[in-house]
Structure 1
């Protein structure tokens, strides 16, 4: 088994907040910049398209029942979420094909009436796979549904198996165990910002899984939020009022980045980079991967299946199924 070295770039840049089409155009520009710099795998943070819902943690009144502000902002988010497949998704596929790169992108996905926190894996030929966050955390449950085991995804690439988890899924021991059993070589850890505890979780995952981890976070100012809102063609005053109520001046940092590339020994290869837009880049040396298995392989010689066994349900969980009876 031989894997090629891989040049990676983590995009630590703000989207055009809440604006799907403008953020998609920005993603295309950033993707081409990363490709021109030699990146073969380009990674964007959690729900970058079109922005992590910072108002949940920052805006007073964001969780009030039947309040006009939260409803107005949610409607804008719902209207600017990505349908997969769909016309906007086809534009995204075209951008990836043009770049000829592998891309991992965090998106708000709209599936019928529900939004999901989704991690998209896009390949240069236009093929794709996705992972939906299994458990939205705390106030996130106001806007996202739950994923299921059918999207615990790995993608075969020339650089090895590529997989990922989103944010606090890295503190779900059984989710980690399931992904380690998929035998990832490169793992994408998407976060809003990669705070200290998130750094610890990402480094732990790299050491435990004996894989490279790309921990991706966004840099976002309050002004980015307000500018993104005003870029929309229709802005309900209730939405403007809610987002303007986020404390602090326009230059306040709401997301601080912290993106980093971590080696299979848990040590940093690049970064972390804080508080500024950046591309965090590194070359992954696949020769480092087997060395760690000498002492630890949690799905192999360091497992005890006679004592512990995990069964993963990979069926899609559907509320309604239709059985067609032929005449």
Structure 2
């Protein structure tokens, strides 16, 4: 079996300014593909950046906070939408090279935002995965996903799926993904802390799959850079000069410290051993995967098969979309 070459792009996103972030992502993904990668993974909400102010800015969760409201408005204005033409360069890169690219984004559906880890695949529509349960303060930004975006992409070399951050501590979500038979799983994180590394290694062992635990590198100054880019774009689009939102800037200035997301990405084998690990800076992490390890590992553990008890436990998954409104045709 020919080894599968994979890459994790551990980079600093361009917060808020999603068009600039798409341009950056295309260049980084192209470099990874030119390095031989057939599967390229980015961390959680790379397009738009992780909303660090929720955890790091004192008072961000207070009711009616002007800065939080301003940043939410900016995310809504910038967010990707279904069939977003701005994403075409990523799709064209996949179509031209045959590579698969997994990248996170803020997605707008009607007037709500989702945390979406998109899988771009050659010749096929984007495969969405919207985070099922935003964690803690994230619920101030993101809507809950539903079962319609639980799925995998079937490539010629095997299947690849993804979960986002604390979904890796949702036992039934893990069981659902194991049932889909992933060869490679993209575990998306804002940064790969020790406990996140443990969850990723556990997923690899339990699911008998390779795991790409992808984290971001993000600093306080990146947030100001993104805010300035948004103001510049608005001015170029006919706005009244470069006006940086004062409330948003004030909230971001209250963040203490500089380095907030520190990378730590890793590539993990089906027996939970670490194949490759990144440091705290920006880098692209490569590895070659021997996919025969997946089936060999199943000889001792198959949590969806011989190590399950379907006569005792049953999982029922609703794959239907839940838009919340049903317009019937009278």
- Give the TM-score band, short-chain normalised: over 0.9
Instruction: Specify the SS of the correspondent of 1:291.
Output: helix
State the alpha-carbon separation in 2 of the partners of residues 100 and 21 from structure 1. Answer: 24
Show CA shifts across 1:4-26 (max 9, x none): 53110100001111111111110
1:19-34 mapped onto 2 (5 Å cutoff) = 19-34=17-32
**2:155 aligned with 1:157:** yes
1:191-202 mapped onto 2 (5 Å cutoff) = 191-202=189-200
1:236 equivalent in structure 2: 245
Show CA shifts across 1:123-153 (max 9, x none): 1225221111000000000000000111111
Residues 94 and 235 of structure 1: CA distance in aligned 2, closer, same or farther (over 3 Å): farther
223-232 or 279-288: bigger deviation:
223-232
1:247 equivalent in structure 2: 256
**2:58 aligned with 1:60:** yes
1:277 equivalent in structure 2: 282
134-143 or 273-282: bigger deviation:
273-282
146-155 or 231-240: bigger deviation:
231-240
State the alpha-carbon separation in 2 of the partners of residues 184 and 287 from structure 1. Answer: 13
1:267 equivalent in structure 2: 273
Deviating runs (4+, > 4 A) in structure 1?
none
211-220 or 72-81: bigger deviation:
72-81
Shift of 1:222: 1.3
Gaps spanning 5+ residues in structure 2: where?
232-242
1:112-191 mapped onto 2 (5 Å cutoff) = 112-191=110-189
TM-score (normalised: structure 2):
0.94
State the alpha-carbon separation in 2 of the partners of residues 97 and 294 from structure 1. Answer: 36
CA contact (8 A) 1:69 1:242 kept: yes
1:4-83 mapped onto 2 (5 Å cutoff) = 4-83=2-81
2:202 equivalent in structure 1: 204
Shift of 1:91: 4.1
Instruction: Specify the SS of the correspondent of 1:283.
Output: strand
CA contact (8 A) 1:60 1:245 kept: yes
2:234 equivalent in structure 1: none
Instruction: Specify the SS of the correspondent of 1:70.
Output: helix
Shift of 1:98: 4.4
Shift of 1:224: 1.5
Gaps spanning 5+ residues in structure 1: where?
none
State the alpha-carbon separation in 1 of the partners of residues 78 and 2 from structure 2. Answer: 37
Shift of 1:35: 1.1
CA contact (8 A) 1:47 1:117 kept: yes
**2:296 aligned with 1:291:** yes
Shift of 1:178: 0.6
Show CA shifts across 1:46-79 (max 9, x none): 0010100001000111111112111111111111
1:92-111 mapped onto 2 (5 Å cutoff) = 92-111=90-109
Count matched residues.
319
Shift of 1:80: 1.3
State the alpha-carbon separation in 2 of the partners of residues 170 and 196 from structure 1. Answer: 14
TM-score (normalised: structure 1):
0.94
Instruction: Specify the SS of the correspondent of 1:144.
Output: coil
State the alpha-carbon separation in 2 of the partners of residues 322 and 111 from structure 1. Answer: 17
State the alpha-carbon separation in 2 of the partners of residues 127 and 117 from structure 1. Answer: 18
State the alpha-carbon separation in 2 of the partners of residues 184 and 244 from structure 1. Answer: 42
Instruction: Specify the SS of the correspondent of 1:48.
Output: coil
Shift of 1:94: 3.0
CA contact (8 A) 2:90 2:120 kept: no
State the alpha-carbon separation in 1 of the partners of residues 39 and 47 from structure 2. Answer: 18
